[in-house]
Amino acid sequence: AATGLPGPVLFEAAIADALSGSEGGEVTLLLVSVDQLQSVARSFGRVVADELARKVTARLLITAGAARWSVGRLPQGFGLLVQGAPGSAADAAARVVSALEQPWVVGRRSVRSTCRVGLATAPAGGTPALLLQHAEAALGEALRRPRGGLVAYGAGLTARAHEELLLETEMQ
């Protein structure tokens, strides 16, 4: 969708910049999946889905406001890079969920959405690849839940993802 947001390469560069200049503040990545984007595309067509994606983008940018957030488009959905004091990412995630679960008017249709958020905070000495891996594991767990929501990364999520991959490989 033409959202005007930086794509994966530029957004990963923003992650690297944030990690190199974090100077004691937290660097947290939120991966956001809006559940209804694919349903809208199948039901009303790509043009309407692209309109919804642009509205999601606008709402994310408004929610970010003047905060130290970067917003980008990734294959998994939308990425928000939050820099700041410890705990600021949890507040940011709650604001994002609240903003995205408000009704949307797309064309002449009203659409309600749910979103799922994977949250990961960069460990000391963390790399962009590791931060993305952790956020993807958290988002994967959020996507398994039936009613959306927020999942923060914990080491058990990576272990679970490895176990699921092994099981899938054995079943092939």
- pLDDT tens digits for 10-26? 889 989 988 887 566 78
- Determine the Cα–Cα distance for residues 73 and 7; give it in Å rounded to an integer: 5
> Could you tell me which of 31, 52, 36 has the C-alpha nearest to residue 134?
31
Task: Reply yes or no on whether the pLDDT at 120 is more than 90.
Answer: yes
Bridge-based pairing of strands 77-84 and 26-34 is antiparallel
pTM attached to this predicted model: 0.83
DSSP state at residue 123: P
DSSP state at residue 122: P
In this predicted model, what pLDDT tens digit does every residue of 39-97 receive, in sequence order? Answer: 888 888 888 888 888 888 888 888 877 566 788 888 888 998 888 766 777 888 888 88
Three-class SS state of 48: helix
